């Protein structure tokens, strides 16, 4: 089940990346980018980032399994575009019931569960993976690093403004889905690199 989810999200991520890259290139060739944005756009993207990278996660032993549908419904309530985001996550099986036991187990563990701390090598590898995913998605290394750092610091509103400044307003759903796929893919990668308690000390 987990392999199917990751294969599907990886394929969809590539599609969104190509779509985003093509529309960004065409837009850049046609006119100067418009850096104005509405507060509604910022709020939708910022809240979505917060849910994906913080409050809306379903984890097992500290590892991301998917997202909490109820948290997304409540967190995005009243925002234009929320229904489309929730439907897309539903259709791609990215929501996980927090009360159900998963049919698989992760390899890397949540260190706090065992009274341990995460090794700096694990933290650095996870951050590098997320940075790489964002840079691959949005091309410009400096901006990609800035966005990744803002997300890491939980500065979701500033990260949303930076993303919108890149010209993603026409495809906010694509950005949200791409970033969720980056996060899930990095969870899978950390499982490979740090099996068992090797991520803890």
Convert the pLDDT of each residue in 104-126 to its tens digit: 344 455 777 778 888 899 989 98
Q: Is the pLDDT of residue 142 over 50?
A: yes
Residue-wise pLDDT for 27-43, tens only, equals: 443 344 455 678 998 99
Closest CA to 5 of 65, 79, 61: 65
Residue-wise pLDDT for 45-100, tens only, equals: 999 999 998 999 988 776 778 899 999 999 999 999 999 999 989 988 889 876 55
Mean pLDDT confidence for 165-175: 71
- What CA–CA distance (Å, rounded) separates 34 from 58? 36
Domain ranges across the chain:
2-94+109-193
> According to the model, what pLDDT value does residue 12 have?
41
């Amino acid at each position: 089940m987990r392999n199917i989810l990751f294969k599907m999200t990886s394929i969809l991520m590539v599609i969104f990346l190509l779509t985003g890259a093509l529309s960004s290139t065409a837009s850049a060739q046609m006119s100067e980018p418009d850096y104005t944005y509405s507060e509604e756009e910022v709020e939708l993207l910022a809240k979505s980032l917060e849910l994906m990278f913080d409050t809306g996660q379903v984890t097992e032993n500290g590892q991301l399994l998917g997202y909490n549908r109820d948290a997304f419904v409540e967190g995005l309530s009243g925002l234009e575009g929320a229904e489309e985001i929730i439907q897309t996550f539903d259709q791609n099986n990215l929501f996980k019931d927090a009360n159900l036991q998963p049919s698989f187990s992760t390899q890397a563990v949540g260190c706090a569960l065992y009274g341990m701390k995460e090794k700096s090598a694990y933290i650095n590898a996870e951050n590098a993976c997320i940075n790489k995913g964002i840079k691959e998605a949005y091309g410009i290394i400096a901006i990609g690093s800035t966005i990744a750092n803002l997300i890491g610091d939980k500065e979701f509103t500033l990260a949303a403004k930076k993303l919108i400044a890149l010209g993603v307003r026409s495809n906010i759903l694509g950005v949200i889905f791409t970033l969720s796929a980056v996060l899930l893919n990095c969870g899978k990668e950390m499982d490979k690199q740090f099996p068992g308690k090797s991520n803890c000390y």
